[in-house]
């Protein structure tokens, strides 16, 4: 059975727009993934640099811990100073127990005023 030319064109157009949409979506997803990967890579590097500077020791209780047991604390939280997010000087190696006691743990620093001292 022969297709009518309108149907052929419609099919072609549909395939074409599908392709464009898929490409657009894929490109978007790829860009988002790259951004996320770059962000997490920066974060990992920052975290490791903080641990190295602090000699893998919790800066509050003095516990010496491996990297997977240590946490990198932002002295000035991201919500207050996003430009310091990956600055080693804004990081502090803490054990989990000490980290949860900080003012800004888990986004609590969100409500702090700019410049207010946080541990």
Binding site for Zn ion (CB under 5 A): 58, 60-61, 95, 98
- Taking the least distance from each CB to Zn ion, the nearer of 8 and 61 is 61
SS3 67: coil
- Taking the least distance from each CB to Zn ion, the nearer of 58 and 80 is 58
- Angle at CA of residue 55, ends 53 and 57, nearest 5°: 120
- Taking the least distance from each CB to Zn ion, the nearer of 38 and 61 is 61
Question: Shortest approach of Zn ion to residue 51 CB, angstroms?
Answer: 13
Question: Shortest approach of Zn ion to residue 47 CB, angstroms?
Answer: 16
């Amino acid at each position: 059975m022969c297709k009518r030319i309108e149907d052929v064109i419609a099919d072609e157009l549909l395939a074409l727009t599908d392709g464009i949409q898929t490409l657009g979506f894929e490109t978007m997803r790829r860009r988002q993934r790259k951004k996320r990967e770059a962000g997490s890579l920066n974060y990992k590097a920052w975290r490791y640099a903080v641990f190295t500077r602090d000699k893998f020791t919790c800066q509050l209780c003095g516990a010496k811990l491996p990297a997977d047991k240590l946490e990198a604390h932002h002295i000035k939280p991201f919500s207050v100073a996003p430009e310091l997010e990956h600055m080693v000087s804004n990081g502090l190696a803490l054990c989990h127990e000490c980290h949860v006691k900080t003012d800004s743990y888990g986004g609590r620093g969100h409500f702090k005023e700019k410049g207010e001292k946080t541990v």
